[in-house]
Structure 1
């Protein structure tokens, strides 16, 4: 029998550090626990944001004054420099604490309606869009099975837009957990490996909403709702300029097929 899912498992899942078997167990657990899934998605987005900001700093060479030889020599000197170092350390702690306090609310604000859908789509794309190992659960070759799975979970009829004329091939998809219940996630890529995704789920609020642009970090998108079903087409900064016409075409096909 599998052991219970722990916080260590969730952190390793966010870091893509789990063996495949355990990763599948965690994904099944997140599907059954949408609140935990939403929290984990937020942490994943925050991790990528911190990496993008702090990565260049971490890559810089260590300053000469901080090498071990210099630090050992400084420690032997019983002068006022020790107090300055202590003061600097305190300052770093204060700055770090203040940064943590400011970051505590990043991505955690409660959104509703079409804004919640947009945020959920951004989080799902941030998790699965860059995944080169398992971006989809069911491949395009089994699209009929994927459609049945999503329709059963959403209790709604769905369609898979054909975006090949715009240069994007359907890769497949999966069911993902959100704070508002299960959602279907369809993934597409182009000849250069650029990816876009469409998230869809039933709407309690904003059951009919005009298309609106949204952005969450480096994820861009357009969200809308028709007849109680919400959609958001999302992608990265590399294809942001293409997203609006792609969203228009996807909406046209959804309206024609559902």
Structure 2
């Protein structure tokens, strides 16, 4: 079969061809040229392998979503609608009655929903965490998606997983604190089985984001994502970004989301949002999140 391949071109290798090589989009003959090129350039070969690792991470994150069956409500909405046999004037009458009923019920509900004496921030938090003593499963939002994508992209990178490693933690803390406008000291999680690898600065929705990366003895990664853009978290979680979410138990302050194969525990603490991402079991991540939350509170 090799004899049937077109001859090698020996043309200069371009960055576009290297990217096409990673994506498996090159003709067979040119693929051989690139392989020969990389065989003498180990640094380039490692760079392309990092790109492949990023692709695998993104596939692990989003393939389960792509393969999900179409929700029944969408299937139903795609079916042709049967024309209503009800006269238009009766439809309007029914709609008006429905609006009146809903408006009255909403007004009565608000009567009991106003703040009363003795209702503090912790009580408000307990109200939005529907099951006392348990982590609430919240709708996914831009914050958790960005945290999960950052974890999936950088965790597999063997060479550039972090910008500043843990051996230079003082430098890392000073740099991220300056860029984030607040102290950014990473929690120490050795007691939970995770060692700090380092951190990096990332773009967020409306500003910079700090990411700290940890690894356990089995090589599994865990990332802590810190953002001062918490508007999208508040809309999904029901929190006020000005309030530290004091838990009434070990996990009451946290919300849980799942982005593909990545589990995410996230919470609001003053002006910052925190997300802990990993493919670890949910119970493990809950335990680590509790310790991160505790250390962040002690450091204030």
Give the TM-score range, shorter chain.
Answer: 0.5 to 0.7
**Would you say the 8 A contact 1:114–1:230 is kept in 2?**
no
Matches within 5 A, 1:6-155: 19=44, 45=58, 49-50=62-63, 115-155=141-181
Q: Deviation of residue 255 (structure 1)?
A: 1.1
Specify which of 280, 286, 289 is matched with residue 244 of structure 1.
286
1:49 is displaced (CA, Å) by 3.7
For 2:61 and 2:162, the matched residues in 1 are separated by 20
Counterparts of 1:146 and 1:20, CA distance in 2: 28
Structure 2 match to 1:254: 296
* SS of structure 1 residue aligned to 2:290: helix
Larger Rg, first or second structure (1 or 2): 2
Change (3 A) 1:133 1:191: same
Is the contact made by 2:57 and 2:156 (CA closer than 8 Å) also made in structure 1?
no
1:225 match: 268
Q: Larger strand proportion, structure 1 or 2?
A: 1
- Structure 2 CA distance for partners of 1:121 and 1:48, relative to 1, 3 Å: closer
Give the whole-Å Cα distance in 2 for the aligned partners of 1:118 and 1:22. 28
Question: Structure 1 CA distance, aligned partners of 2:61 and 2:267?
Answer: 26
Query: What's the RMSD between the two structures over aligned residues?
Result: 3.9
Q: 1:20 to 1:196 in 2, by over 3 A?
A: same
Check whether the contact 1:129–1:195 (CA below 8 A) recurs between aligned residues. yes
Q: Render the CA deviation track for 1:64-110: whole Å, top value 9, x for unaligned.
A: xxxxxxxxxxxxxxxxxxxxxxxxxxxxxxxxxxxxxxxxxxxxxxx
- TM-score (norm: length of structure 1): 0.58
CA offset digits 1:3-24 (Å, max 9, x no partner): xxxx959x67x97x9949999x
Match of 1:107 in 2: none
Q: Which has the higher helix share?
A: 1
Give the match for residue 123 of structure 2.
none
Match of 2:111 in 1: none
Q: CA deviation at 1:214?
A: 0.9
TM-score w.r.t. the length of structure 2 is: 0.50
Equivalent residue number for residue 61 of structure 1: none
Q: Distance in 2 between matches of 1:179 and 1:43?
A: 24
Q: How does 1:144-223 map to 2 (within 5 A)?
A: 144-205=170-231, 206=234, 207=241, 208=243, 210-223=253-266
- Cα distance, 1:157 vs. partner? 1.5
- Structure 2 gaps, min length 5: 1-14, 24-37, 49-53, 68-138, 235-240, 246-252
